[in-house]
Structure 1
Amino acid sequence: MLEYVKTILQKVSFNAYLFERELKKGMRYLMPTELEEFKDWCYATFGMSHQPILNRYFRPAY
């Protein structure tokens, strides 16, 4: 499922609204063990273009 969610995000990354919607949906489908890898991938891939959205969904652990 992780690879599927990654593929969808890459396809909708041109639009911030679609990106946020698909990110939220994708996180529901992932196993808790996959979320950390997914977070790292999201920041590496979309950190420059969608960082405010990513920060809303991946709060830093203090």
Structure 2
Amino acid sequence: MFVKPKDGRSVHDPARGDLLPAEGRNVDESQYWYRREIDGDIEIVQPSKDADTDKKASAK
């Protein structure tokens, strides 16, 4: 699923050990991310076309 931090929030990504970037990223679906959504720290969104393009380009 694709998540983005809400404006003004810094959200730790436990799988990568860093902060979730402002533009968002794909993460594994888990209780952690659903809890962040309930707490108002993130929003679950559809990835932009640019994110899909970047993913395909990096796979090559």
The answer to whether TM tops 0.5 is no
- Flag the structure with more relative contact order, 1 or 2, with Cα contacts below 8 A and sequence separation at least 6: 2
Of Structure 1 and Structure 2, the greater strand share is in: 2
Structure with the bigger percentage of helix: 1
**Superposition TM-score, scaled by structure 1 size:** 0.30
- So what's the TM-score if we normalise by structure 2? 0.31
